[in-house]
Amino acid sequence: MTPTDTATALPHRQTLPAEERHATELAFLAAYDDGPRPPGWLLTPRSVITFVCGSAGEPLKLAKPHETLPRELVVAPKFVGERALVERCVVTLAGERGLLLVGEPGTAKSMLSELLAAAVCGTSALTVQGTAGTTEDALRYGWNYALLLAQGPTPQALVDSPVLAAMRSGRVARVEEITRCLPEVQDALVSILSDRRMSVPELSGTDDAQVAAASGFTVIATANLRDRGVSEMSAALKRRFNFETVHPIADVDAETALVKRQAVAAVERAGAAFDVDDAVLDVLVTVFRDLRAGRSAEGWDVERPGTVMSTAEAVQVAVSLGVATAYLPAGDPLDLVPGHLLGVVRKDDPTDHARLLGYWDGPVRRRAEDGSATWRRLWDLRENLR
Amino acid sequence: MTLAQDPRAALDALADSVVPYLLGVRHHSPALAAAVPALLDAAGAEVVCVELPADFQPWLTHLGAPGTLAPVALAGAVEGGRLGFYPFADFSPELAAVRWARERGVEVVCCDLPMADARWHTEGDVRAEAVGPPASASFAQALTAAGTGRAGDDLWDRSVEVLAPGCTPESLRRAALSVGWALRQDSESSGGVPAVDLAREAHMRETIALAAAGGRRVAAVVGAFHAPALAEGAALREREPERADGAGVRGTPATGSGLPAEPSLVVTSLVPYAFDLLDSRSGYPAGIRDPRWQQAVFSAAGDPDLLYDAAARAITGVCRELRAAGHTAGTGEARETLRVAGDLARLRGLPAPGRGEMLEALTSVMGQGEPLGRGRALARALEVVLVGTERGRVAPGTPRSGLGPSVEAELAALRLPGPDDPARRELRLDPLRSVLDNRREILLRRLDVCGVGYGEPVEVAGTGDAAALTTRWRAAWVPSVPVRLDLAGVRGVTAALAAEGTLRETFRRESAEGAPTCALVLTGLRDAARCDLPDLVAQRLAEAAEVLPASATLPEILTGLDLLEALRRGHLPGTTPGTRRAAGVLAADLLESAVGSLPGLAGSDDPEEVAALVALAARAGEHRLGLRMDEALSGLAHTGSPLVQGAALACRVLLDLDGADTLGARAAGWIDAATGPDARHALARRLAGLLTGAAPLLQSASTALDPLLDRVDSLADQAFLERLPALRGGFDTLSPAGRDRLLHTVTERLGDRLDLALAASPELLALWAAADEAGRTAVEALWPTPRTADLPAPTTAGVRPVPAPDPSGAAEPADAVPRIPPTDRWRLLLGSQSDKLPAGARRYAHALDELYGTGRGEGSSDPGRDGGRGGGQDASFPTAREWAEELQALFGAEVREEVLARAADQGRGDVLAELDPAAVRPSVDLLTSVLSLAGGMPEQQLARLRPLVRRLVDELAKELATRVRPALTGLATPRPTRRPGGRIDLPRTLRANLAHARRGADGSTLVVPERPVFSTRSRKEADWRLILVVDVSGSMEASVVWSALTAAVLGGVPTLSTHFLAFSTDVIDLTDRVDDPLSLLLEVRVGGGTHIAAGLAHARSLVTVPSRTLVVVVSDFEEGYPLGGLLGEVRTLAGSGVHLMGCAALDDTGTPRYSVPVARQLVAAGMPVAALSPLALARWVGERLRGESR
């Protein structure tokens, strides 16, 4: 999330995988803590936690100097959230058990899984993206059909899935949005997670008929709570995962800071300076938090819209505001907020619009009445919401 | 402590203190409790001072007695209200100290301030200070940061308890003292230590000094927070607080006199206690989380291996409970849980997993990320395994104390029946006038809540619409009362405490299934207020603020508003200025959320709900009118049921969102459009809705009335008469007085009638009459038109003489000139002043009066009114047949049928016999009316009704089937595709790639399949199962009918087996009658409460192959039971892969009437909710069957 090793960033790629972005930190932590590690792990469990949660601003010192690594390094925090949650995740993975991260969309589940995979096994690339079109091949194996038809079933014609690749090398496989896959596709994971081997019936009779998982192999899956009912996981599969619920960022200041940081970075990538007032960002984050929680900061009841109101969406709006002020300067960016909010909220359910109006009637109006100039301006902009 | 001390030095000073030897504790601490005997032994204490008010000194021997089985509690009440409550379990260090002292024969002294001391003030819970972390805690923060960083971490738990296993008692003592020191430092640096604590510590120091007289070694077992203030030399450093005279004298328990100085003021007691009450979540003060687990930690006495065993036992226990609840939780999971707990502890550097690690592991492995459903089952299992229900016992021979004596004294003081005067008495109380009555009322309420069976409330009827403010009771001291008092005594030692405890307990138990229901919160709030328990009122109000806006249905919101109003005005005893204010604020919030639930009213056909809508709109408008209300009303005005449309439109005009002319124009439009039976019915309902809201508007706003007047005026007779029953039905909403006023306005505006109220002298009137007479004679001489004899005093109306309408009802349709004068038309459609109608028109009025009467409400009981039932002098019809014939004669067959159906709807069963089964127009409305009547009919009448119902059902089902069947046909077949996915289609692949065949070196042919072809997945058509779960509670009639019809149609589809479950609070499986909608419908009885969860639970038992099962719930979703159960069922079903659909309404228009908040939560739980027409439902079913989308 925060690019810490900008030196290694290559200019022509939009994003870097975690293991490249934080290569220095990972190498440093591997050298820093040489305690016992679970089989197949590059770092000790404690270092993995430090990598994800940061070293609380304290510099860590290497015991003996290393030619390529700095002598001491402050590990930046990458995941804003409970440390205990990360601890549980690490313990789960250390037991080679499947880890399922669930939560509202936009709570950095995917980022956490990427960081964990990078820290544990050095790569976050063994990833299956779950969609309604994901087939069993993506979780088990596919065939190079040209070879298959030409030579018949041979190990050369076999195309490993990321999961099979992880099994062979004892690494962490990631399955994103697992609940978007069809249930019968998901269930391919059941035998993998319980037997820890995959059979290839087409190759029966040869040594390759069974692929056993090397130690260190495990699976991190993510699932959105909002996708419930799309393709519910079977009970058998659920039993093979430890569940961790990732909550939205609890602290308003931390969230505002995060939104600002990411919006600034994105706007600068777009080649402009970020010139949106902090008060506007405060308002934006407050509205998002209120609508997400169903309760305003003051404790007033708010009707939650059916749309996702994640931090990521708040960043998107902040970026739009930033780009708009940079390239199309036209007055106060605050004036654009209601329109953007309407765009975020009104997606598929028309009653969400009514809920946004209700929010304006409630908290926005009350805050305006309490004399806040920013909120009064927003209240005055109510006609933009129609 | 002016200078910042080095923590280490400060801690050393504390730990090394000899006079007294300090043992800083938390009041429930298994680790310390286990270490206390060893520590006291090591200190060689000769006197033990414990932090208890001096009043409890006499109880200490009983507390420590071998026969006393923990948990028990000491309670003290000072006259004037202050309460002290001190529960003890085996894992309470104080109890451990008392027991140790008893065994060693060492004296124990209560060293805290006596309860009656003025310095206690009245604030706060006396025990909170050692546990609660201060606001900006630097030291505490540092200590916490050293822990896990988990939100809500307990400082004491992290710094003392989890580190304890394997430590020496001494290091444990130091850890505890350090936590206390840190908390105290923080508290001093942020606002200072509360005065009450300083006063208590001063008293403790004095007591300890007295106890130490003669060089005896004193050990002080006190809250860790207080320890720094009691250390040697602490008194010198501490600024001595001003101290009340005589406090020191009273605090002389060291003499062992055993009695507090002023026993009359303080009532103390020792009562048994229970683990479930000890758990802090029970809402009792001074508790601890998970007592049974703490007990296990205490038993392990700091041995890490034993603690591992305890954790393993607890985890296994949770698994067993989960399995008992029907969830999977095998040994594998238990093993994994224990591993995670152990590894977490190791990662955090702990000797053994603590409570926190165990719960984290359990949630992680067993919870499966579902806060509802499985998560709830887990919470229940945890409660059973970790909390427990063990009850304590006081040793035999302990003096009687607690609730019984306290209540008896109170009864005697209030001169109510008691042990000395047990006879039954009837009381009439006026609590708002008399103070004594108020106290009696409160006591009776409290005892009632405790279930003591002492007093019994007697229903009191209020005068008029107002609620009764006096109460009546029947009270007697029957022999069972003292027994039940003893039982209730566990929950508190006074009636107030016991009532509060019982209410909390009941509330907690009943809401254990999930979040508390709105009904539960409202009852709880009312009870708490009646029992005069301000704290509980405040708490329930806070809960109400959580629960009500999120899930209350409209009726609940209205009940809630009433209750809150009563609270705000202080009609109920248990309010404070704060709660009264809070009630006002919550009422405003509730109003706002009511606006949010308005769309759920769209399909309502209940006049009361519509009246509520209007009332709500008016209140919301007074409060402030929002964008949301505007949007909701405009939505209702466009898409609601006719009744709601009318009302919403009226509301919009009342709130000045629309002009009155819009209203008039639309109303006129309705009249124009009312050409068919359906439109006429809609007209009646729309007018009814409109008039519920805007009756006065018609009188005052001319723009609203003009189009209506114009329309009624300009209709041809025939057209008017056709619409007359509908119009009359619509205006039936008005009260008789309202109608008179409207008629007055109308006649005034039409200006066509001599106003007899004119203040003219009789002489003048006589002159006018004579002139009229002369004029008429002259006119008649010119145009000798035959005219009816008794037209009312003709003025301008006389210019257009009216012939009596043709009895056949077929008055010249071509005649565009209105023949019935406008005023008479209004008389007809308002149903008033029928004696002023011409005789012909009066027949119409008479026929319609049979159905509508003269209305209800204001003015209906006025004896002097004209036009009573039956239209003045005319008698009502002797039989339904005659009436039906008259209707036929006046209005024709079509309208006659409408009127009769309407009569059936209003409960007149006899008219049904007049309907001709062969000729009747099948409509669901009629069918619902017939069915609602069928419930109360004897079999003989029912037999006559059957042909009618059969034809209605057959016709409707046939009509539905022709529309629905096409939606169900057509099945997907596998198709070839280039997208890799399904099985490879080898023949096609070969054919497609023949061009790429080449010959190998060895002469074999090699086909290089550059373009592989696959086949899509096809779903086999197999036995699908459709389960219709239909709500038959009260307001769902039309949907019930449609459900039954749909079930019958779908039951005819070969691949589908259709089940029909009707539920209210019970579930009836009517599957065997699905084929025959007639018997199905006659079997269903509408009425009763709503328990959707029960219906779903039964549906779940019918599921065999979840992925091929469709469950459709038809309900208004106003669940009368805890919502948690319903959400859990839905999650379970959704989780198993069943296709779910919630129908907020199942009828032709698809206009829903449902609880919006509940539906929203159901959607989140995995059940889409929509208002569907049977056709849309069939389409959905067809889509599922064909597997088009998942």
Residue closest to B177 by CA, chosen among B7, B302, B14? B14
Which helix H or strand E contains B221, and what residues bound it? Answer: strand B218-223
CA distance A154 to A144: 10
State residue A168's pLDDT score: 92
Mean pLDDT of A55-83: 85
The residues, any chain, with a CB within 8 Å of residue B808's CB and separated by 6 or more, are B889
Residue B570's pLDDT band (cuts 50, 70, 90): confident
* pLDDT digit string, tens, across residues B27-42: 888 888 888 899 888 8
Predicted pLDDT of residue B129: 40
Is residue B130's pLDDT more than 60? no
For residue range B713-767, list pLDDT tens digits in order.
Answer: 888 877 888 888 888 888 887 777 778 888 888 777 776 544 455 556 778 878 8
The pLDDT value given to residue B241: 43
> How close is the nearest chain A Cα to the Cα of B354, in Å?
14
Q: How far is CA A88 from CA B252, B364, B376, in A?
A: 54, 8, 21
Cite the DSSP H helix spans in chain A.
18-21, 23-32, 45-53, 83-94, 109-121, 136-139, 145-151, 162-169, 183-186, 188-195, 235-238, 252-269, 278-293, 311-327, 337-345, 350-359, 365-369, 373-380
pLDDT 10s digits, A321-363: 888 888 887 778 888 888 888 888 887 777 788 888 888 888 8
In this prediction, residue A44 has a pLDDT band, given cuts at 50, 70 and 90, of: very high
> Average of pLDDT values for B497-511?
80
Cα(B848)–Cα(B828) distance, rounded to whole angstroms?
Answer: 9
Query: What is the tens place of the pLDDT at every residue in B371-416?
Result: 666 777 888 888 888 888 888 888 887 777 778 888 888 888 888 8
The span from the CA of B320 to the CA of B531, in Å, is: 41
What pLDDT sits at residue B335?
A: 92
Nearest Cβ partner for A84 among B148, B626, B1166: B148
User: pLDDT tens-digit profile of B756-806?
Assistant: 555 567 788 788 888 888 888 888 888 766 554 444 444 443 344 444 444
Q: Confirm or reject contact between A227 and chain B (CB < 8 A).
A: no
Q: Per-residue pLDDT averaged across B112-127, rounded? A: 64
Q: Measured between alpha carbons, how far is B632 from B595 in angstroms, rounded to an integer?
A: 7
Interval B520-546: pLDDT, tens = 888 888 888 888 888 888 888 888 887
Strand pairing of A210-212 and B266-272? unpaired
What's the pLDDT score for residue B736? 77
- For the cut 90, the answer to whether the pLDDT of residue B575 exceeds it is no
| Amino acid, res. B673 | A
pLDDT value of residue B337? 92
When pLDDT is averaged across residues B922-932 and rounded to a whole number, the result is 73
pLDDT exceeds 80 at position A19: yes
DSSP state letters, B182-213: HHHHHHHHTT---HHHHHHHHHHHHHHHHHTT
> Bigger pLDDT: B889 or A61?
A61
Residue labelled with tokens 């979840």:
B1106
Does position B1156 have pLDDT exceeding 60, yes or no? yes
Confidence of residue B78 (pLDDT cuts 50, 70, 90): confident
pLDDT at B753 (0 to 100): 47
Determine, for residues B592 and A362 on separate chains, whether the beta-carbon distance falls below 8 Å. yes
How far apart are the CA of B1188 and the nearest CA of chain A, in angstroms?
12
B1158-1184 average pLDDT score: 80
Residue B252, pLDDT above cutoff 50 = no
Q: Is A244 on the interface with B (CB under 8 A)?
A: yes
Structure tokens at B612: 């509520």
The residues in B 476-495 lying below 8 A from A, measured between CB atoms, are none
What is the pLDDT at residue A93? 93
Q: Give chain B's mean pLDDT.
A: 76
Is pLDDT above 60 for B1021? no
Q: For the segment B261-315, what is each residue's pLDDT rounded down to a tens digit?
A: 444 467 788 888 888 777 777 666 566 788 888 899 888 888 888 989 999 999 9
* A245 near B CB under 8 A: yes
Interface of B with A in 1115-1154 (CB under 8 A): 1134-1137, 1140
Of B411-420, B592-601, B732-741, B834-843, which has the strongest mean pLDDT? B411-420
d(CA B147, CA B154): 9
At A6, the pLDDT band (50, 70, 90 cuts) reads very low
- Please answer yes or no on whether B150 and A361 come within 8 Å at the CB atom: no
Which candidate from A46, A149, A358 shows the least CB-CB separation from B628?
A: A358
Contact A90 B347 (CB under 8 A): yes
B764 touches chain A (CB under 8 A): no
Mean pLDDT of B428-441: 85
pLDDT in the model for residue B624: 67
pLDDT value of position A171: 93
CA distances from B503 to B484, B492, B524, B527, B950 (A): 16, 11, 7, 8, 53
pLDDT of residue A291: 87
Give A157-215 pLDDT, tens digit per residue. Answer: 889 999 999 999 999 999 998 888 887 788 889 889 988 989 888 888 888 888 999 99
Q: Cβ(B201)–Cβ(B51) under 8 Å?
A: no
Mean pLDDT of all residues in A357-380: 86
The arithmetic mean of pLDDT across residues B1019-1030, rounded, is 72
